[in-house]
Amino acid sequence: SIQPPRACLSSIKIYSKEYGLFEKQLTLLEEAEGGFDQFTRSYKSYGVQRMPDNSLVFKEWAPAAEALFLTGDFNGWDNFSHPYSKKDFGKWELHIPPKEDKTPAVAHNSKLKVVVHTRAGERLYRISPWAKYVTRHEKSVIYDWVHWDPPQPYVHKHPRPQKPRSLRIYESHVGIASPEGKVASYSNFTHNVLPRIKDLGYNCIQLMAIMEHAYYASFGYQVTSFFAASSRYGTPEELKELIDVAHSLGIIVLLDVVHSHASKNTEDGLNRFDGSDSCFFHSGPRGEHSLWDSRLFNYSGWEVLRFLLSNLRWWMEEYRFDGFRFDGVTSMLYHHHGIGSGFSGDYTEYFGLHVDEDSLVYLMLANHILHTLYQDCITIAEDVSGMPTLCRPVQEGGLGFDYRLAMAIPDKWIQILKEFKDEDWNMGNIVYTMTNRRYGEKCIAYAESHDQALVGDKTLAFWLMDKDMYTNMSALIPMNSVIDRGIQLHKMIRLLTHGLGGEGYLNFMGNEFGHPEWLDFPRVGNNESYHYARRQFNLVDLDHLRYRQLYAFDRDMNRTEDKYGWLAAPPAYISAKHEGDKVIVFERANVIFIFNFHATNSYSNYRVAVGPPGKYKIKLDSDEIQYGGHGRLDHNTEFFTEPMEFNNLPNSILVSKLYYLWQNNDLHN
């Protein structure tokens, strides 16, 4: 069921041109900038910098501008009193000495604007692309550049944890991480959500929607200020504390980084910063994403490379993130951006003129630099195309990512629940989807992410139980057949995905306990309501609701993996995928996984193939009462192997009882 190592060696030849371009860029960085270490620290020279004598240096790149001025609170919003000096290569600089009392001329928390005069005679008001903090007044739709230079900056107390052996990711959004109908804060996440994540056994948090985005409902994917942590959740210092506390709990934190495109906003975004159609982006149609209505970076531009690579260093250094989940990699890899392209796996789809070499080289540079400077840095690619060698080292001709998201798995679960009756589930097809990945390229498996929680779709819990979740989730009353089936399948789908689907596992916040509602941000279409832009963690805290049972199973599933380490083990050996019995059996990390997906059939003395001989005991049982099961298995039972070859393994055991899924025998679509 596992695909062979296709094209790992031949891809080096295929990628030789791109690798040559990558090496050329590294050489140019060495010659022109003294190496990538200095080049990627450009956030220390661009934007605004306070010197040791408290003078301020402002630096921008605006190649199409005729003149630049700085205005703000500090000069009474005078548009002409502080002109920038023009330098080579489209750069502009402004030096402002300290005040008479030796304090900086621009105080912490004061507002600023760059005034751009264009060759066409326009006067434009812009936010520095390097702005570290931007805020929006309640009655305004435009964000303001706020000078962030606190007198007592946050000092990190805890070292970064070591890279986990097995990656168990809790995908999170700070703003919705509260049961209350409002935008939740960094502090709320630190004090109320981090302890839950630790208890659940996740060792990694993937933070979404951190890079500032003017439109909340964009889920953070229309970035306006790339160096600014979103002010809607609090201050930069509060985000630093969140990450520091996570580190103290042994949890690493990844940033959902969006370098695939940028918001079209002009007054508070990168678009037309210097008045031109290009600057950071390609000009003309190549610079626009037709589906996302956003701008596309010119990855061959020297200053664009400076900006984006320094952006990665900024989040690693200033906030001490531990790595990145790169969004929209498919869009970056191809000139067609994946629009109208169905990827079948044919290699002609991955190599040719439709591949964007500039993007490939940028991603190779990003991964090479990150992994060279930070030994334990983790990078994950969101790619739906299946690009070969995406997760092979750069020196092999790969793009250098550590993991890719196994995006076909959640799609498969939704398809099954939408299109098939329970008795028609195809075990072989499920197993194929779980294991269909290139050998030697690690995948993050997940049953559902934020994509499946969005309004217009439904979570797995809702596909399984729908409106019954509102009336029948009390543990004080007997389960009806819908809830019984839904709870049992919810657990089994997750465990099968966890054990078989990849080398890492991901869950979107709240879905572990079967969050009862979809996700919809406040917008005009829902009267700006926050009702669905929240996570009802309070449901888990009520003893009498069955959400607590799903939470407990998710917790113990992660803790069991932490003990046995199947995610870090080689791919599973599948010994059974029986269509008639609806049984799947596989072995991974010396753990035997046995699933009976049959709706009505139980089995006595069911023979299961085993590799290593010895005594086996039940370590995790989805049918336990505490998990909303029926408690039908005796955990004191010991299973001894017999030297009887079965399903191509040297040993086997007899499982005394393999029960059907749920008590009520009604079949459901």
Residue 9: the pLDDT is 39
The model's pLDDT over 568-619, given as tens digits with 9 standing for 90+, comes to: 999 999 999 999 999 999 999 999 999 999 999 999 999 999 999 999 999 9
Residue 663: the pLDDT is 55
Where are the domains positioned within the chain? 42-147, 167-493+508-559, 571-664
The model's pLDDT over 304-355, given as tens digits with 9 standing for 90+, comes to: 999 999 999 999 999 999 999 999 999 999 999 999 888 888 888 888 899 9
d(Cα 404, Cα 468) in Å, to the nearest integer? 35
Tokens of 380: 């994950």
The Cα-based distances of 564 to 254, 429, 492, 557, 632 in angstroms read 24, 27, 18, 11, 24
Secondary-structure class of domain 42-147 per CATH: mainly beta
d(Cα 133, Cα 235) in Å, to the nearest integer? 8
DSSP 660: -
DSSP percent split of the chain into helix, strand, coil, nearest 5: 30, 20, 45
The model's pLDDT over 238-256, given as tens digits with 9 standing for 90+, comes to: 999 999 999 999 999 999 9
Residue 16: the pLDDT is 66
pLDDT at 14 over 50: no
d(Cα 470, Cα 517) in Å, to the nearest integer? 10
Residue 342: the pLDDT is 81
Confidence of residue 31 (pLDDT cuts 50, 70, 90): very high
Residue 18: the pLDDT is 85
What is the average pLDDT score of the chain? 94
pLDDT at 10 over 70: no
How close are the terminal C-alpha atoms of the chain, in Å? 28
d(Cα 257, Cα 312) in Å, to the nearest integer? 8
Tokens of 9: 């060696």
The model's pLDDT over 372-421, given as tens digits with 9 standing for 90+, comes to: 999 999 999 999 999 999 999 999 999 999 999 999 999 999 999 999 99
The model's pLDDT over 463-508, given as tens digits with 9 standing for 90+, comes to: 999 999 999 999 999 999 999 999 999 999 999 999 999 999 999 9
pLDDT at 540 over 60: yes
pLDDT at 6 over 50: no
Residue 620: the pLDDT is 97
Residue 660: the pLDDT is 82
Bigger pLDDT: 313 or 10?
313
Say what the pTM is. Answer: 0.95
> Which CATH number, 3.30.930.10, 4.10.490.10, 3.50.50.60, 3.20.20.80, labels domain 167-493+508-559?
3.20.20.80
Q: Beta strand 323-326 with 252-257: parallel, antiparallel or unpaired? A: parallel
Q: Beta strand 144-146 with 111-118: parallel, antiparallel or unpaired? A: antiparallel
d(Cα 240, Cα 231) in Å, to the nearest integer? 13
Q: Which residues contact 510 (CB under 8 A, 6 or more apart)?
A: 453, 535, 536, 537
The model's pLDDT over 59-91, given as tens digits with 9 standing for 90+, comes to: 999 999 999 999 999 999 999 999 999 999 999
Please tell me if the domain spanning 167-493+508-559 has the same topology as the one spanning 571-664. Answer: no
Q: What CATH architecture applies to the domain 571-664?
A: Sandwich (2.60)
pLDDT (average), residues 261-289:
97
Share of the chain above pLDDT 90, in %: 90
Q: What angle do CA 387, 392, 394 make, to 5 degrees?
A: 105
Annotated catalytic residues are 327, 382
Residue 17: the pLDDT is 83
For helices 427-435 and 408-419, what crossing angle results, to 10°? 160
Contact 505, 448 (CB under 8 A): no
Torsion of CA 483, 484, 490, 493, to 10 degrees: -140
Residue 667: the pLDDT is 36
Confidence of residue 12 (pLDDT cuts 50, 70, 90): very low
Confidence of residue 662 (pLDDT cuts 50, 70, 90): low
Nearest to 384 by CA among 541, 499, 260, 559: 260
Tell the residue number behind the tokens 């199973």, with chain if given.
553
String of DSSP letters for 259-278: -S-B---STTSSTTTTSSS-
Backbone angles phi, psi at 46, to 5 degrees: -95, 170
d(Cα 27, Cα 21) in Å, to the nearest integer? 10
The Cα-based distances of 81 to 37, 87, 117, 142, 278 in angstroms read 36, 19, 14, 24, 28
Residue 141: the pLDDT is 87
Widest Cα–Cα separation across the chain: 90
